[in-house]
Amino acid sequence: MSFNIDQIRGLFPVLHQEVHGKPLIYFDNAATTQKPKAVLKALQEYYEKDNSNIHRGAHALADRATRHYEETREAVRDFIGAREAAEIIFTKGTTESINLVAKTFGRNFIGKGDEILISTMEHHSNIVPWQMVCEEKGAILKVIPITESGEIIWEEFEILLSSKTRLVSIVHASNALGTINPVKKIIDAAHAVGAKVLLDGAQSTSHLDIDVLDLNCDFLAFSTHKLYGPTGLGVLYGKREVLEEMPPFLGGGEMIKEVTFEKTTYNEIPFKFEAGTPNIADVIAFKAALDFVQSLTKPKIRAHEDALLDHANELMSGIKGFIPVGTASEKVSVLSFNINGMHPFDVGQMLDAKGIAVRTGHHCTQPLMKRFGIEGTVRASFAVYNTKSEIEKLAEGVAQIARLKNK
Ligand code: PMP
């Protein structure tokens, strides 16, 4: 598909509506993206034609559903450049993917006095599971500090990294600031001391080309709903040799090879980590989202979104009282800011009245907000279907709101 913004917008029914009597401008894409028609159609078709349980069925519908489910697994493998489809595990989302690693890798490979390294800009879902592991195992959580612009301080990272580090778990692109972390460098440094690396790809997978072999990460976690796909579904990529050594996460059907009351043997990967009936419909529909992204190509998507971010920065930086939060040199299309003298929630409400949907608050990054000495921010995050004229309306709206307190 060529990069024709009108054509792209035409694929997203939800965009074509008014809120509070104004045309909707949807800038809450870091929270969740909208879904193209092809995803909605795939969901409906699955339930209308193929609905059945997968893998063990002896009938045509189950065969079709199984084939489509496994086709998505293969499409995900291709999307992130993994070696084999068996390294792709379907979960409920980034949160569950990280918790899976915490509960399994954490159980077998992290012990008393071992260290886990995260950064100041982590989402709560990449903090809390590790705190739980540390509490259970007597391990230590260490945090890489960041600069005023929202970039990790490399020298501090090097000081914190040691032979005690078992795992570095770090966000690829920050949801609250947009910062893209130098993950390849981080992974190389971590491997040099024998640590494994988990990348939280919740925000990077929709914007950046991802090649897990080139990055050489041990784990990558992401959510499909931030990638034009359905909610309630996520992916955990793990290297075969690491996944094979990890104990199962949940016990139940599908994850077993043989069950007796005396002893159970476990299934091969990825099934060892997919206990119970999975989210079949959403997995199948996610392939349509991947096809949509692949048809546009990531470099074109990124170029479009970068241009939107540049345009926003240019227009907003001239507004009196505008305070950007997170000014890293490498960013995905996230614009976090405050208005001098105003609470972010009030700014969000006023923008909503103008038909502009943004997110306000701590963005599940309370320690990061504390680092900046703020309660929260207003966050406008851009996706493939946003336009320059929408950015201009945002800047106009922000300028009007800022004038109330900044004469
Ligand atoms: N990490 C980051 C960086 C995120 O932006 C999010 C979602 N806001 C998550 C993790 C958690 O994703 P989910 O709620 O889909 O599990």
Task: Write down all domains in the chain, each with its CATH number in brackets.
Answer: 5-30+298-403 (3.90.1150.10), 40-294 (3.40.640.10)
Contact 344, 361 (CB under 8 A): yes
Active site residue 217: no
If you write DSSP's letter for every residue of 34-81 in order, what string do you get? ---HHHHHHHHHIIIII-S--SS--SHHHHHHHHHHHHHHHHHHHHHT
Residue 394's pLDDT is 98
First to last CA, the chain: 47
Residue 313's pLDDT is 98
Cα–Cα distance list, 300 to 3, 229, 380 (Å): 7, 19, 20
Residue 2's pLDDT is 76
Name 128's Cβ contacts closer than 8 Å, sequence gap at least 6: none
Backbone φ and ψ for 96, nearest 5 degrees, come out as -70, -35
Query: Shortest CA distance to 359 belongs to which of 380, 374, 339, 373?
Result: 380
Residue 178's pLDDT is 98
Interface predicted TM-score (ipTM) of this complex, two decimals = 0.99
Q: Which atom of ligand 1 is nearest to the CA of 122?
A: 3
Residue 91's pLDDT is 98
Task: Report d(CA 63, CA 136) in Å as an integer.
Answer: 43
Query: Shortest CA distance to 236 belongs to which of 285, 267, 274?
Result: 274
> 213: CA distance to ligand 1 center in Å?
23
Q: Which atom of ligand 1 is nearest to the CA of 174?
A: 3
pTM (global) more than 0.95: yes
Residue 301's pLDDT is 98
Residue 3's pLDDT is 86
Residue 20's pLDDT is 97
The stretches in the chain having pLDDT less than 70 are: none
Residue 320's pLDDT is 97
Catalytic choice (160, 364, 374, 404): 364
175 lines ligand 1 (CB under 6 A): yes
Residues 241-276 pLDDT 10s: 999 999 999 999 999 999 999 999 999 999 999 999
Report the C-alpha dihedral over residues 175, 176, 181, 186, rounded to 10 degrees: -90
Residue 407's pLDDT is 84
Task: Report d(CA 29, CA 35) in Å as an integer.
Answer: 11
> 202: CA distance to ligand 1 center in Å?
5
